[in-house]
Chain A
Amino acid sequence: MATAKDADRVRPALTLTKEELEVEVPEPRLNWMNQWREWGVRVRPGKKGLTLGSLNVGLYGEIPMNWPDRSRNPRGAIGVTGTPPVAIQIKDKVDLWAPCAADLYEEAIQRRWAPATDVDWKAIHPLPEDIERAICQVCTEICQYAIIDVEVITSWQHQMAYGYHEVKQFLATTSLDATRRHEAFRKRALVNGGGLGYEGPCQVSRLLLESSSGWTETVTGLILIRALFTQVMIRYLNRFAYNGVERKIYECVTQDFARLITYGVEHIKYALAHAPDKQGSILTTLAIGFRMFNRDLRDPVLREALAIVFGGGIAGARNEGMLVFYEMLDEYVQELLDACQYLRLPVTIEQLPRVFQKDQRHSADS
């Protein structure tokens, strides 16, 4: 066993002045010593190092269904009482929990990236103007989504009880991911002779920012509508990427989204398992969300820009590009329905606005 004196020897000395050496030292009270709820914990690092989830042993792993304490007492510590509370609104585990949060948190850190240096920006080359304009327009809209994602997540994080720190910590990674997403797509828009485009429509964003009454409902819109759609869109953009710069960005962003979507889906699953009556508000949020999404999709800008990217230019956009756009939309709808099935949410394609229904699409909106 290392002794305190051994340890002392390896510590550099702090040279004290004569005055400091003569400081009168008060008798310590030491009333904080031997104060704990559980002592003797020795978590050892595993294959992935010393992870957040591995700390959940004994009493420290007890995560109650309700955390009424509105202070910053760490879970497992002896809490102080009698201090003015902070603005915590979410105090029930069912309102934020996903069992995978701690693992996703560590994964986010392991897979961190930096757009400045992980993308080989020098590998970009000039593109035909219609394609560059289309890509810049898509970048602009993805930037705007990312800006809104940051605002949505950060407006909730501080409202969550400290007893559920794993979720709060994971959310910190997701808002940094969204920050980086904005950064990466902004950089792409400004690097190749283009610029930013036209502001995107705001109905889904409005739903996300304004559904401030429940995190689970916010997650429903954020994940099942915004994130899942963006993820599929990025998958298609990757398939039709024009250079390694874009491919690298798409690959990194896809990983980031995968974690966010996993948290979201697993949270909804947890919420439904422990509070089945939440199903009603989740379904209503989805129904409203799809109406909003439908309104956003009536705007031609994103659709046409994507069609140009997929079709290799304006000419190709008029047939092949637009067909790929709808194929992409169908793929999104399928993934949404798969997620709903996994969550046992009774959502069928017939309930969605017609633009999302392959068979009904072209009679829609006439």
Chain B
Amino acid sequence: MDQQTQNGAEFELDLGWMEKQGEWGTHAEPSKNGLTLADIQVGSYAETPEESRNLSGRPRGAVPRPGSMPIGNYTVRTKSEIWLENASFLYEEALQRQWSSATDIPWDTIEPLPDDVEQAQCQMATFLTEVEFVAGDVPSRWVSKTSPDFYEARNVLMAQVMDESRHMDVFRKRALVNGGGLMRATGATAGFVGGIDLARDFTEMSSRLHLSGEGAVLTIFRMGELMAYNDAEKAIYRLCAQDEARHVAFGVMHMRYMAANAPERREEIESYLDEAEAGMLTDAANPAGQLNQTSESLSIMLGGGRKYFDEGFRKLVSIRKRQLQEYQKRVTSAGFGDRFKNGRSRLGHMMANVAN
């Protein structure tokens, strides 16, 4: 404590810290979208270390304090393990596009539906409530393990956690708003080996969650108009698709960075993709997959009722194809397109079996 007498004498100041500040003279300039994360990448503040030695939660660019303790529980300390080039953009976009499931969905437009359609909607809502849980909790856990030197990537994941929380509640709301209720859970996201929860490596987790899991869900949300019966449902799928597109973009961009900057890990990533492809149609986490609980409810939604199941199922098959095509595009964009030419990918085989 500084020495100050009780009689009003001045406090002594040390002020030594004024000599220990980071790069000085920084004038970040706002751009047309305000002052974005991209705009504050100025001078040394734009530099991200390849290996982070920051173990104390220090903001990147601040001057390290010699006595600080390694209190951060960071297992992700290598840039290529988590980095992506457009994190700043994805984060700012996420903040601009936050929405409210309480007030941005025209709930009043929902009117009673035939029982079979309502049941199908509620079954799908139950399933989605369940998978949104995993999509929020797992990235959240990874943020706590990532060095703040990679804060741009952390920020995008944090925005995802918020998005998923809202998805979770919008589907719960849908299930309880129209004379239905929640139905039977699927267990799609349990702690299976090869599941999203158990991945020991961030890229492994991201390939399962962002690229294959959310990729498949994004295709479905984009087809939301086909399975919506009112403006409320249309709004739900449209807004969720917007969010999911960012989550999938994170996965694609991260994998692209990894491919370009850590070629020694290429083969490992190819095996994650092998695994992802193997589960794409059989995995219960794909609502258009082979689990009858979800595929049948989707077929009823797509067809327009139990009576039109066949029509709905055929649409579902077409959607499965789209899922595979979109997956191929994403993997190619991430820099792993060779697998579709060199025979490694099973996608061709799967394409032939989408109707099973």
Residues of A within 8 A of B (CB): 1-5, 7-8, 11-12, 14, 16-17, 20-21, 23-26, 28-45, 48-52, 55, 57, 60, 71-74, 76-80, 82-87, 105-106, 109-110, 112, 114-117, 119, 121-122, 130, 133, 136-137, 140, 143-144, 147-148, 150-152, 154-155, 157-158, 162, 165, 168-169, 172-173, 175-176, 179-180, 182-183, 186-187, 189-202, 205-206, 209-210, 298, 300-301, 303-305, 307, 314, 317-319, 322, 355, 361-362, 364-366
Task: Taking A45-B102, A116-B96 as given, write out 5 further A-B residue pairs in contact, using a Cβ cutoff of 8 Å, ordered by the A residue number.
Answer: A14-B318, A32-B123, A33-B119, A193-B26, A318-B10
Tell me which residues across on chain A come within 8 A of B72, comparing CB atoms: 151, 209
The answer on a CB contact under 8 Å between A71 and B185 is yes
The answer on a CB contact under 8 Å between A186 and B137 is no
Query: Once the chains are docked, how many angstroms separate the CA of A51 from the CA of B166?
Result: 11
Query: Once the chains are docked, how many angstroms separate the CA of A141 from the CA of B302?
Result: 53
Q: Which of B11, B92, B310 contacts A116 (CB 8 A)?
A: B92
Given A28-B296, A190-B40, A197-B21, does the pair A86, B226 have CB atoms closer than 8 Å? Answer: no
Residues of B within 8 A of A (CB): 1-6, 8, 10-15, 17-18, 20-28, 30, 33-37, 40, 42, 45, 56-59, 61-65, 68-69, 71-73, 92, 95-96, 98, 100-103, 105, 107-108, 111-114, 116-117, 119, 122-123, 126, 129-131, 133-134, 136-138, 140-141, 143-144, 148, 151, 154-155, 158-159, 161-162, 164-166, 168-169, 172-173, 175-187, 189-192, 197, 223, 225-230, 292-293, 296-297, 299, 302, 304-310, 313-315, 317-319, 321, 355
Query: Once the chains are docked, how many angstroms separate the CA of A42 from the CA of B247?
Result: 32
Q: Considering the complex, give the chain B residue whose CB is closest to the CB of A173.
A: B162
The answer on a CB contact under 8 Å between B35 and A116 is yes
Tell me which residues across on chain B come within 8 A of A130, comparing CB atoms: 18
Most B C-beta atoms less than 10 A away, residue of A31, A305, A314, A318: A318
The answer on a CB contact under 8 Å between B11 and A319 is yes
Query: Once the chains are docked, how many angstroms separate the CA of A193 from the CA of B27?
Result: 5
Query: Once the chains are docked, how many angstroms separate the CA of A307 from the CA of B230?
Result: 59
Nearest Cβ on chain A to B188's Cβ, whole angstroms: 8
Most B C-beta atoms less than 10 A away, residue of A32, A35, A322: A32
The answer on a CB contact under 8 Å between A76 and B182 is yes
The answer on a CB contact under 8 Å between B185 and A72 is yes
The answer on a CB contact under 8 Å between A52 and B169 is yes
Query: Once the chains are docked, how many angstroms separate the CA of A241 from the CA of B119?
Result: 56
Most A C-beta atoms less than 10 A away, residue of B57, B133, B304: B57
10 contacts across the A-B interface (CB closer than 8 A): A43-B173, A84-B192, A86-B191, A109-B102, A121-B35, A150-B154, A151-B73, A173-B165, A175-B140, A202-B65
Tell me which residues across on chain B come within 8 A of A162, comparing CB atoms: 133
Q: Which of B17, B57, B308 contacts A304 (CB 8 A)?
A: B17
The answer on a CB contact under 8 Å between B318 and A209 is no
Given A42-B178, A191-B27, A362-B4, does the pair A322, B96 have CB atoms closer than 8 Å? Answer: no
The answer on a CB contact under 8 Å between A32 and B292 is yes
The answer on a CB contact under 8 Å between B22 and A158 is no
Tell me which residues across on chain A come within 8 A of B58, comparing CB atoms: 144, 147, 199
The answer on a CB contact under 8 Å between A151 and B57 is yes
Nearest Cβ on chain B to A365's Cβ, whole angstroms: 4
The answer on a CB contact under 8 Å between B140 and A2 is no
Tell me which residues across on chain A come within 8 A of B105, comparing CB atoms: 49-50
The answer on a CB contact under 8 Å between A74 and B185 is yes
Given A31-B292, A49-B100, A300-B14, does the pair A200, B225 have CB atoms closer than 8 Å? Answer: no
Tell me which residues across on chain A come within 8 A of B4, comparing CB atoms: 322, 362
Tell me which residues across on chain A come within 8 A of B185, comparing CB atoms: 71-74, 77-80
Tell me which residues across on chain B come within 8 A of A24, comparing CB atoms: 355
The answer on a CB contact under 8 Å between A77 and B182 is yes
The answer on a CB contact under 8 Å between B314 and A20 is yes
Q: Which of A50, A152, A195, A206 contacts B26 (CB 8 A)?
A: A195
Given A36-B182, A116-B36, A195-B21, does the pair A175, B161 have CB atoms closer than 8 Å? Answer: yes
Query: Once the chains are docked, how many angstroms separate the CA of A190 from the CA of B21?
Result: 12
Q: Considering the complex, give the chain A residue whose CB is closest to the CB of B156.
A: A179
Query: Once the chains are docked, how many angstroms separate the CA of A76 from the CA of B125?
Result: 13
Query: Once the chains are docked, how many angstroms separate the CA of A13 from the CA of B308?
Result: 14
Tell me which residues across on chain A come within 8 A of B37, comparing CB atoms: 116, 183
Q: Considering the complex, give the chain B residue whose CB is closest to the CB of A38.
A: B181
Tell me which residues across on chain B come within 8 A of A4, comparing CB atoms: 113-114, 116-117, 229, 304-305, 307-308
Tell me which residues across on chain A come within 8 A of B144, comparing CB atoms: 150-152, 154-155
